[in-house]
Chain A
Amino acid sequence: MLRGEHVMARLLRGRLVPHRLSPDDERAREVAGALVDLYASHLGRPRAELEEELSLLEEELGPRLDARRGFKILRGLAKLLEERAKWAPPTEADPYTLRTRLFELTATLPELPSATTTLLEGGTREDVLARVSTETGIEDPVSLMYADRQGAQLLSGFEPPTPAALLISRYNVAQIQGVLYSARDLSVDLGREADIRLVFHYVKLLGLIYTLEPTPKGHRLHLDGPLSLFGGTRKYGLRLAKLLPGLLLTAPWTLHANVSWKGREASLELTSETPGLTSHYKGPADAGEGDVREAFAKAWERAKDKGGWEIEEGAGVIPVPPLKAALVPDFAFWNAATGERVHLEILGFWSERYLVERVGLLRAAAKRGYRVLVAAPESLSISTGTLAQATRGYVISFKSRLDAKSVLVALGREDWRGSG
């Protein structure tokens, strides 16, 4: 992510246009390439030198790229490369011990040791250095006495963005994130095909507070933080910014953010259709649910005699506001004859902590009158009894594949209907 001082945007009729580099721009690609090369060729050399060379590059290439803001753009790009770099200390000796010894010895002298050797004076700087050199076995103590400074660290690893144009795309996302640092709130209109569960994963992770309302095309998610209730604050801007790469993992959506920009109220609009924006997030780990889900969908399609039950398009969302989360079950079934709606949640091979959270959501959903069937693999680290109790429902156990029949049996159970 960029630092605040690297962020640039134009304000056009109340709308913010974050600074953007075109991946087709020859000069931008040249600059990105030069920076990547600089880092790549710097392996094993100190940070202070890199910083010096960066500032030279800034002065040389910056104004050619953009007369006014070139140096800022270069600094921003370098900051993003810095996130891909690893640094290591240059010596195994402890510089702190070394310099402390030098200071102590010097302070015991009756007068400040002269820098040059003279015949008349007692202790000189050279004497102090020679003594410490003998004590520690370090040839040149002065060169290592501050080796623990950041500038002395050596570049020990660098993962170059390949191709270098990837840096430009990362930069463009980072500039939008930078504008969001100053956001007071954000709303996203998520289309039905969007992976809303993924979005909630990040909402929860970032400790944001949401409200959700249905729209003709899907859902509108409004996001801010606990203190926003008492007047808009930019306090949660950083978290809203961190949400963006998460959003970029899915589509379609449009977002609108209210931004306090340099003392003025402005807005930022963005859609998932904007070209050239890619996420650098890897997305939450899939716990094998995806495969189970797909296999089940196919099995359901093939199944005969479904007793009037149909799978609904798009994910059903069960908001659980007090938990600041939402349950997004895998399937929603609709029975046209009876008007019943039942959700199916497939539990993957989750860690225990995640399961506890999931069960909490299931319990809350059941309390709110939703009917949720739970399908859990036999090997799950939680007892089906606990699950059944949490959901007031019926738990379907499966080995590796969930078949349509057992779900239909569950859907048709009388006691299930009775207890809802």
Chain B
Amino acid sequence: MIKLSYESGTLLADVSGDAKPPEPFVWDGRTEQWRAPAGTYRETVLRLREEEIPYTDRAARFEKLSLESRVAMEPRPYQREALNAWRRGELRGVVVLPTGAGKTAVAVRAMERAGRSTLVVVPTLALLKQWYSILSGSFGHSVRVGLLGGGYHEVTPLTVTTYDSAYIHAERYGDRFALVVYDEVHHLPSPKYAVIPKMLLAPYSLGLTATPERPDGGHEMLPELTGPVVYRRSPEDLAGTYLAPFETVRIPVELTAVERVEYAEADAVYRDFLEKHRLSMRSPEDWQRFIMVASTSHSGGREALLAARRRREIRANAERKSATLESLLKQHWHDRTIVFTKSVEEVYALSKRFLVPGITYETPARERKEILDRFREGRYRAVIASDVLNEGVDVPEANVAVILAGSASHREYVQRLGRVLRPREGKRAILYELVTGGTGEEAASRRRREPVTGAYPGASP
């Protein structure tokens, strides 16, 4: 008789007499016990059953949940296919779908199917809050949704956590979940996070992503960590039929005459200093180097620092930028508009100026849900958000997006576009991009656009 139990991310096998538990158990001389990583639970139980070895299971503490989404949703054909493929893979595997194709809907179905305690692991606090909203909306009537991370520590049979928190806490709660959903699963095969599945008993797992490939080749670990890719569709596969076409409008924002003079002055001081000290400005490290040189320099260092700061301020606060935004908000007051800004502070400044709700990583989960719900219902007309709405945040009713300034990241740009790509009957989304002229932001904007052009029909103006 073998007795299985769970301890701190590992599985213990208590055997009577000289009997040996099957692989992958290893004798742990430190504590005089047979031990295996908790992630081998499924394999262990299958082997014990197959070899007809009697055992008692004191390890698993997950429960059956009757999960039935109250949000009526007819799955799209590819979502149904994805779910079937996952079932054929014995409730283990990765589903690859483009942003905006409704990966979350697949996960909600998978949870219904598994009908057991589920842990959802996400990369950002924004997604933590988003999943909280979705799961509360779907299952909140029968299960209380728990949160672990970002200042929340409430673990329930249906809990959302971040990769960082899972890394720290999985060993405490690793026996409580039967299904793990890894959102943006391409984060999982990193040297740090790859230990998470090892600490979880969960026999079932579902990975979701639009892009499983990692430059470091980490995706090759996915089959071991959460199962192989069981279903895959590219944006091209779904374009036209399921992803709404959209239009991009680029609005160059000129500095006012006063700003232009001031900017030119500050820019000259700053550039003279760079040239004098032979500094380049291509990376964040260059910026730190500049700060260092400037603050130790006795001639002109302080002036250069102030000029650099002023220069940035002018660019960020260009008067016409917010005036342009004001006119766009006016023009689209009867649409659903999301405004993306570069900085959290800008969100709060604009929210105070226009009295329109802002969402950042600081926004509490419940308030965030409330804002997005009201936005969906049309009670709020616009929402201002910082980078937090980046990866796959679901705002189905938005049909206008305004990008105020973004960092030059391809991925980010694609994901942001995905937001307004929500399929909706007869909807044509508009994406405005406000770029301050003559300040270097144009290049960043160009960089962002390149990989997208051509990949999505309608993306190029």
* A and B co-occur in one complex: yes
Question: Whole-angstrom distance between the alpha carbons of A385 and B291 in the complex?
Answer: 72
- Residues of B with C-beta under 8 A to A145: 351-352
Given contacts A67-B292, A226-B7, contact A103 B305 (CB under 8 A): no
Pair A227/B330 contact, Cβ less than 8 Å: no
Across the interface, do A146 and B296 meet the contact criterion of CB distance under 8 Å? no
Q: Is the interface of A mostly helix, strand, loop or mixed?
A: helix
Q: A63-B295, A226-B171 are in contact. Are A211 and B355 (CB under 8 A)?
A: no
Q: Is A30 an interface residue (CB 8 A)?
A: no
- Cβ 8 A contact of A322, one of B31, B291, B355, B371: B31
Find out whether the CB atom of A103 lies under 8 angstroms from the CB atom of B380: yes
Which B residues are CB-close (under 8 A) to A207?
8
State whether A59 touches B355 (Cβ < 8 A).
no
- Decide if B26 touches A229 in the complex (CB within 8 Å): yes
Please indicate the chain A residues that have their CB under 8 angstroms from the CB of B167 in the complex. Answer: 235
Interface centre among B10, B352, B370 (most CB of A within 10 A): B352
Chain B, 357-412, CB within 8 A of any chain A CB: 357, 362, 367, 370-371, 379-381
Q: Known pairs A59-B291, A226-B9. 16 more at Cβ < 8 A?
A: A60-B295, A63-B291, A68-B292, A99-B357, A100-B370, A103-B356, A106-B354, A113-B355, A211-B30, A229-B30, A229-B35, A230-B37, A235-B167, A321-B32, A322-B32, A322-B33
Chain B residues numbered 153-208 whose CB sits less than 8 Å from any CB in chain A: 167-168, 171, 192, 195, 198-199
Q: Does A149 contact B (CB under 8 A)?
A: yes
Q: Is B348 an interface residue (CB 8 A)?
A: yes
The CA-CA distance from A229 to B36 in the complex, in Å, is 9
**Interface residues of B, count at CB 8 A:** 46
**How far apart are the CA atoms of A157 and B236 in the complex, in Å?**
58
Expressed in whole angstroms, the Cα–Cα distance for A59 and B8 within the complex equals 44
Whether B8 and A225, one on each chain, are in contact in the complex, defined by CB atoms closer than 8 angstroms, is: yes
B-chain residues with CB within 8 Å of residue A298 when the two chains form the complex: none
Q: How far is the CA of A211 from the CA of B370 in the complex (A)?
A: 52
Instruction: Please count the residue pairs between chain A and chain B whose beta carbons lie under 8 angstroms apart in the complex.
Output: 100
Chain B residues numbered 20-42 whose CB sits less than 8 Å from any CB in chain A: 26, 28-33, 35-37
A62 touches B295 (CB 8 A): yes
Q: Mark A96-119, 1 if CB is under 8 A from B, else 0.
A: 100110111111001111110000
Question: Are A63's CB and B326's CB within 8 A?
Answer: no
Residues of A within 8 A of B (CB): 59-60, 62-64, 67-68, 70-71, 96, 99-100, 102-107, 110-115, 125, 128, 142, 145-146, 149-150, 207, 209-211, 225-227, 229-230, 233-235, 238, 321-322, 324
Chain B residue nearest to A114 in the complex (CB): B326
User: Complex Cα distance A115/B354, Å?
Assistant: 8
- Bound Cα distance from A234 to B10, whole angstroms: 16
Whether the pair B353, A115 counts as a contact (CB closer than 8 A) is yes
Closest to A210 in B: B30
Residue on B nearest A115 in the bound complex, by CB:
B353
Are A112 and B333 touching (Cβ within 8 A)?
A: yes
Interface contact A233-B355, CB-CB below 8 Å:
no
Contacts of B333 in A (CB 8 A): 110-112
Contact of B8 (CB < 8 Å), options: A114, A226, A230, A321: A226
State which of A59, A63, A113, A226 has its C-beta within 8 Å of the C-beta of B10: A226
Chain A contacts for B168, CB-based, 8 A:
238
Query: In whole angstroms, what is the CA distance A148 to B36 when docked?
Result: 46
Pairwise interchain contact B352-A103, C-beta atoms closer than 8 A: no
Q: Which of A59, A111, A229 contacts B28 (CB 8 A)?
A: A229
B222 CB-CB contact with A under 8 Å: no
Pairwise interchain contact A107-B380, C-beta atoms closer than 8 A = yes
**B37 and chain A: residue at smallest CB distance:** A230
Q: Which residue of B37, B305, B381 is within 8 Å of A59 (Cβ)?
A: B305
When A64-B296, A125-B355, A322-B32 are in contact, do A71 and B291 touch as well, CB less than 8 Å? Answer: yes
Q: What 10 A-B pairs are tightest by C-beta distance, nearest first?
A: A106-B355, A63-B295, A226-B8, A226-B10, A63-B296, A321-B31, A112-B330, A103-B357, A112-B329, A102-B355
Interfacial chain B residues near A230, Cβ < 8 Å? 26, 36-37, 198
- Which chain A residues lie closer than 8 Å to B291 at the CB level? 59, 63, 71
Contact status B30-A112, CB under 8 Å? no
- Could you tell me the distance in whole angstroms from the C-beta of A4 to the nearest C-beta in chain B? 11
Cβ contact of B292, chosen from A63, A99, A234, cutoff 8 A = A63
Residue of A nearest to B296 (CB): A63
Let me know if B9 and A227 touch, CB within 8 A: yes
